[in-house]
Amino acid sequence: MTTVGDALLRAFDLHQSGRLEEADDLYARVLEVAPDLSDALHLRGLLAAQRGRLEEACNLLGRAVAANDSHPDYHANLASVLRALGRPADAAVHLARSLDLHPASPDRRAALADVLESLGRHDGALEQFTAAADLEPAAAAAVLNNYAVRRLRAGDAERAVAALRHAAAVLPTAAQVRLTLAEALAAAGRPGDAAGALRAALCLTPDEAGAALALGRMLYGAGDPAAAGRALAAARRLTPADADGWNLAGCAAKDSGRLDAAEAAFRRALALSPASAEAMNNLGNVLKGTGRFAAAVAVQTRAAVLAPDEAAVLNNLADARLRSGDPDGAVTAAQAALTLAPALADARVTRALALLTAGRLAEGWAAWEARWDADPRMAAARWRFPQPFWSGGPLPEGRRLLVWSEQGVGDEVQFATLLPLLDDRGIRCALECDPRLVPLFARSFPGVTVAARVHPPDPRLLAPDIAAQVPAGSLPRRLLPDSAAFRRLRPALVADPARTATLRARRDPGRLHVGIAWNTTNPKYGRDRNLPLDRLTRALALPGVRLVSLQYGDWSGPIAALAASGIDIVAEPDIDPWSDLDGLAALIASLDLVVSTANITIHLAGALGRPAWALLPHAPDWRWFRDRDDSPWYANTRLFRQPVPGDWDTPLRRVREALEAPGAGPGEDRPA
C-alpha cells in the first residue's frame, strides 16, 4: 500500500529528473489527500515557480510557511518568488525570518541586502552585505565590490567606502577591492586616502598598469604633479602605447615646470593618437610656455579643427594668436569660443585684451570688466567695500570717490596716472594701494586720502562721505574712451626731492647715468619679457655711460661677474627696489635715462615723467598697444620692440644707436 510519504518521495524523484508534468500531477494528488502538508506545498510551489506560474507558486509557498513557520528554506524560497513578482518589501520580511531561523547563510544575507538596497534601505543593506562577507570571506571581495560599484553609480560614495573598507579587512589581498576603494575615496573627496588605496593595489599587483595610471591621475588631480609623474612613469613602462598615459604624463611634467619633458610626452601621445584634440591642445600650451608662439598657433589651430565645439580649445587658440602678435585673429577666435560658451570667463578676458591691444578701446574697456569672473581672488576683492560702483558721472556735492588698487604694482602706478583726470572733473578721491606705494602716492596726490591695502580695510575708506567706489583698472573705461583722450595724461608722480637731490649729487659730472632693469617675476610673461643682463649691459656699455641698477632681487653675483669683465654697474646699497618703491622713484628721478624691460621700473619712470626706453617682446601685453614706438600713457617713454619673438638683438641695437646719436648726452633736457 502506497503512503502519502511514498507518493511525495516519488513526486520529488520525478521533479529532480526533469519530468515536471508527472511530478506536478503527483504533487497535486498528494495535496488532495493532505492539503496542509508543508513539504508538498513547498515542493509544488517550487515546481510552479520553475514553470513560470509565479502567482500559484506564491500561494503554495505561502501556505507552506503558514503550515510550518520554522523552516528557513520555505521563507527564503517564498522571498525569491515575491521578488520576482515585484514585491520586495514582502520578500524582505521572509528573508529576515529565514535568517532568524538560520543566521549563518551568506547567500541569504546577500539576497536580503539586495532587496533592502532596492527599497532604498541602504544602511540595512550595507549591514547585511558586511555580515555575509564575515560568513564567507572568500566571496567578500566580489559581493562587496559589486555593491560598492552600484553605490558609486548612485552617487553614494560614503557607503561604497564603508563596504570596500570591510571587504579589504576580511580579504586584504583583493587588489580589485583596493582599486574600487580608491575610486570611492576620490569620489568622497579624500584624494590622499585614495592614493594610499591605489598604492596598496600596486603592491598587490605591481604589473597593473590601470592602477598606476589611476594613481598618476589621482595625484595629478590632487595637485602633486611630481608624484603623479613618478606613478605615470611606471604606467608607461607597463603600457608604452597608451596615448592617454602619455598625455597625462605631459600634463604632470608641464605643471612641474619641466616643459621639455612635457612637450616630448605630448608629441608621443599624438604619435599614438594623432586625432587627440586634448593632447594637441596641451602641446600648443607648452609651445606658448616656451615662447614659440607661431608654432603654438599652428598646433592650436589643428586642435580647434579636431574639437570645433570645445570653447576652451578655441580660447587657447585666441591666447596663442594674441601672444604671437595677432590681436585681430585673437578677437575672432575668442568670439568663436564665446559663441559656444558665452559665460566662459577666460575667453571674455582674452577677447578684451585682444581688443585693447588692437586699439579698439571702447569695446575693450567694456569687455575687460569680465576680468572679475576669471580669477576667484579678484572676484572676492571686488566686494571688499560697501559703496556702490561708480557709473562715471559726477558725485553729490561734498562726496568722494574711493579708488582701490588691483593686480600688480606696475598696474597700480599706471592707473594712478588717471587720478589727475578725476581732479580735472572736480572729483575728490580716496585711494587704497599697495603699502609700498603709500609714501609716493601721498606726496604725489596731496588732496587724496591714501591708505595702505590691509584687511579689514582702513576705516578712512569707509567714511560716510565716500559716495562710490571704483577699481583702478576700471578707470580707463570712464576716462579714456578713445585714443584722443590720452593726450590729457601728464606725469602724475613726484619723487622725494631730498632723496633725489642726495642721489643726484653722487653722479659723475659729464656722464650719462642710465638706470637699468631686466627681469620680472611674472610667472606667465617672464619668459617673454626677461632679458639676460649681460646682453643688456654690453649693448649699453659705451664711453661716457654710467649704468645704475634699478632691478629688484639679489643680482650681486651676476653684477660682480660683469665687473670682473670690465662692465661696472652701480647699485645703491640703501635702496631696495622691491620694498622701498619711494626710494626707487627717487633713484629713477636722479638719473638721465631709464632702459628697462616691461616691469614696475618702466611704469615708475613713465609716471614720473623721466626719459625712459622700454624693451618689449614681440607681442607685449595690451598696455603697449601695437605698431608704435611711443607710449600714449607716458609721453617721455620710447618703445623698442622685438620684430620677431625672441629677437632681442634688434631692439638692443636700436637702443645702442639711439645712445650714440647726437644729443644723447647727460642733462635734464636730454631728449627721450
Query: Average pLDDT of 209-225?
Result: 63
Question: Nine-digit cell at 300?
Answer: 592650436
pTM exceeds 0.85: no
Phi first, then psi, for residue 167 (nearest 5°) are -60, -40
Split at pLDDT 50, 70, 90, the class of 539 is very high
Say how far apart CA 47 and CA 40 lie, in whole Å: 11
Q: Domains in the chain, ordered, with CATH?
A: 384-488 (3.40.50), 497-660 (3.40.50.2000)
Contact yes or no for 260/586 (Cβ under 8 A)? no
CA proximity to 361, closest of 637, 618, 623: 623
Neighbours of 57 (CB within 10 A): 25
H runs (alpha helix) in 472-532: 475-479, 497-505, 526-529
Banded model confidence at residue 208, pLDDT cuts 50, 70, 90: low
Q: What does the pLDDT read at residue 667?
A: 45
Tell me the per-residue pLDDT of 76-115, one tens digit each, with 9 for 90 and over: 888 888 888 888 888 888 877 877 787 777 677 777 777 7
The answer, yes or no, to whether residue 377 has pLDDT greater than 80, is no
Alpha helices of 409-530 — where are they, by DSSP H? 409-416, 419-424, 438-444, 475-479, 497-505, 526-529
pLDDT digits (tens, 9 = 90+) for 123-169: 777 676 677 666 666 666 677 777 777 777 778 888 888 777 777 77
Question: Given this model, what pLDDT does residue 672 score?
Answer: 45
- Rounded to a whole number, what is the distance in angstroms from the first to the last CA of the chain? 130
The span from the CA of 244 to the CA of 250, in Å, is 10
Q: How does residue 580 score in pLDDT terms, banded at 50, 70 and 90?
A: very high
Q: At 243, list the grid cell.
A: 596615448
